[in-house]
Amino acid sequence: MRAGTILRTVWLIAAVGFMLLPVYAMLVVASAPDDTDLRGLVFNGFHLPENIGLLFGEGNLPTYLRNSLILCVGTGVLDVIFSAAAGYAMAQLSFPGRRVLFALVIGTLALTPMVLVIPVFLIVKELGWVNTFQGMMVPGMISAFGVFLVRQFALGIPKELLLAARVDGAGEFRIFARIAVPLLKPALITLFLVHFLAQWDNLLWPLIVANEQELWPLPVGLANFQSEVGFNYHLTTTAALVTAVPPFILMVALQRYYVAGLTFGGLKR
């Protein structure tokens, strides 16, 4: 091996090792029997199953986990449905208001949630949705990212295919459901994944709109976790680990779509 290759390999292994060190430390502390050793370097037995059992036995973690799953799967599915319909229509159908809608969707991409949370909270309050699931879910239900992603993808559907279906007498809704949706499947999976991961990590909005513990998703629960278990470091870490598991499983199962979602906009289009 040439010196350059060796150097490069050593650098890469060191860099990736360093990036994994906090993850490793998480695993060590989450498996500890108590919180006497927080260095996270050496396993002191493997008590992870007991720790998880403890959290599921008496803590509120199962509630947080359930709430997070309802929130993420619920809004994820809705985002996929509505973005698929709107993205396809904006790419392939001519209808009045198409340009205005496109401008509206693109415009929202530039807005920061810090500007919107206050008035959206007031709207949700007006609707009587404070401390409800719909209050947590509806405002974040559709993302401009999703509509835009599907639209860009739907621009690639051959016009001839749709025209042929029309000549055969298929209705527009049938064409959408039977021809467009199957072709859009990769984009829709990517959208679901991106939406799920973002929603899984959404702390700000549930923090604002839900102050009943029964409704808290994992990020809000974790934020209050230390008081709940008497500031028990190793169990807090176990809870963090549990929070990281569903995104990790999704990423392993849908790795290809994950990279596609991350790089959308970064590569040539």
Residues 104-163 that bind another protein (CB under 8 A): 104-105, 108, 110-120, 122-123, 138-139, 141-142, 144, 147
* Least gap, CB of 153 to another protein (angstroms): 15
Q: Does 26 bind another protein (CB under 8 A)?
A: yes
* Nearer of residues 50 and 207 to another protein, judged by Cβ: 207
* Least gap, CB of 119 to another protein (angstroms): 4
* Nearer of residues 26 and 50 to another protein, judged by Cβ: 26
Q: Does 42 bind another protein (CB under 8 A)?
A: no
Choose the stretch contacting another protein; rule: CB under 8 A; options: 18-26, 129-137, 152-160, 182-190. Answer: 18-26
One character per residue 48-77, x = contact with another protein (rule: CB under 8 A): ------------------------------
Helix axes 233-253, 61-92, angle to 10 degrees: 30
- For 80, the token pair is 């996929």
Helix axes 233-253, 255-263, angle to 10 degrees: 90
- Residue ranges in 196-235 that form contacts with another protein under rule CB under 8 A: 197, 200-201, 203-204, 207-208, 218-219, 222-223, 225, 233
Nearest-angstrom CA–CA distance, 189 and 44: 40
* Nearer of residues 50 and 170 to another protein, judged by Cβ: 170
* Least gap, CB of 234 to another protein (angstroms): 8
Nearest-angstrom CA–CA distance, 151 and 85: 9
* Least gap, CB of 53 to another protein (angstroms): 19
DSSP letter (8 states) at residue 138:
G
Evaluate the CA torsion angle 217, 24, 246, 63 in order and state its sign. Answer: negative
Nearest by Cα to 176 from 186, 190, 166, 189:
166
Residues 6+ apart with CB under 8 A from 20: none
- For 196, the token pair is 């799920």
Helix axes 61-92, 98-109, angle to 10 degrees: 140
* Nearer of residues 50 and 117 to another protein, judged by Cβ: 117
Choose the stretch contacting another protein; rule: CB under 8 A; options: 15-23, 44-52, 53-61, 128-136. Answer: 15-23
DSSP letter (8 states) at residue 93:
-
DSSP letter (8 states) at residue 180:
I
